[in-house]
A and B are shown apart, each in its own frame.
Chain A
């Protein structure tokens, strides 16, 4: 059982500083007072680089997709700016997605139980009717979203490069890219909406895992019981 004192050592950060945030600069899966560090600083920086570049890509891409979102173009200075900026944001999104994949892939191994999330398991989870006692640091839905996001980044960059320099590619490849870029971004955007919802309003306490990096013990015991047991060494059941 690893426990970190909430009292800051002499000569380091002042008492008033957030002990969890300080600890979360380097460590993950450790206890700080009544909290557990879920995402250290590096994890959070990678996550938010992906998230911000994705959202900015969306803001600059949607007005090119349909004039219904034309107003978004004015946020960056017009459609011509979108056409110039969107590919570069896409590059940042792809590069940070590669970093994200490398950073998280190790903990994302799919178990038999995880695969069941493709199907009714997900809907039962959304109705809070599932037994999550064996859920580790990431549940099946999170792992599937992780791989969805990696595949989306790959498909978007491959088709995006063709759409960036269309006149350097053949007609068939251009047409294929048009379809692939559309289909991927639609599915990915819908997934991201679900991801944001689950990370904020739907499950209170989750958002702090990506901001301060820490979650309450209670939260961990409720949402990720196996991870909680691994970190604390407790044998307690979920509730």
Chain B
């Protein structure tokens, strides 16, 4: 549901948001430490409960994962992957949900004014009142997050519990986490926490540990500590997520060019009419055929 309290920084299919700048809010972020996640799924349950999502049958996919993928009424999923290394195996678990990109591809692709908004605290939300269920946001999303809900005919995804955050509560998933691998705060604080943890991991033999905060989408509202940061795809994360070129190309290039082409043609035919006027047969009878010239 759209927030009644937060100003809008950016809105889909609109050149501007409604943020006045009177109430500046810090950008918020989730912090996910995949190295201390125990895969208990408390965050999944908390998400379902708080957001009043229909209880799902779990699906056995041959692993500890609850579902094969995110769904329209399953917004929070612990992805599980088992990797073999020299001398043993490791379990990779990552909490998957909307990444709340600073430059959201869903918002860029959405054709319905106000159907996807970014609040002044950085949360990206779907407004079902405006959503037309076209699914273009799914094409724009580099993380494959928005899902079509068959019952409502609208798109659905994690709201970062905007209804809790706007009244100074942490998101439900964060509240439920028993190990502290999930934290919530300002983006600045969460990045600092993540960098501290990455330094710890590096000192403990994880040379490639990183904080996943991809610059291709100008950073995300979910920062993720990865022990094997050189292989984000092991965690189901794209290496360099970007807004798809086709979405940017169509909105930023084809759209203005198309408007020029269409209005230009209209102007052109008016101009032609003014310059040349209607094309009429000359008055009078046509000349009789000349046998000599036609022979």
Contacts and interface: CB of A to CB of B under 8 A. Distances in A.
Nearest to A81: B132
A187 B13 CA distance: 23
Nearest to B134: A83
Given A175-B244, A203-B279, 13 more contacts: A65-B255, A65-B258, A66-B13, A67-B13, A83-B133, A166-B136, A166-B138, A166-B139, A174-B139, A194-B265, A197-B273, A202-B279, A239-B281
A218 B289 CA distance: 16
Contact of B261 (A163, A166, A171, A186): A186
B254 A193 contact: no
Contacts of B36: none
B286 A221 contact: yes
A118 interface: no
Interface string A69-110: 010000000011011000000000000000000000000000
Contact of B288 (A70, A187, A236): A236
Contact of B249 (A127, A179, A193, A221): A179
B254 A236 contact: no
B207 interface: no
Interface of A: 64-68, 70, 79-80, 82-83, 126-128, 163, 166-167, 171, 174-176, 178-179, 182-183, 185-187, 189-190, 193-194, 197, 201-204, 218-219, 221-222, 235-239
Contacts, number: 124
B89 interface: no
B272 A186 contact: no
B132 A202 contact: no
A185 B278 CA distance: 28
Interface string B74-113: 0000000000000000000000000000000000000111
Contacts of B138: 166-167
B179 interface: no
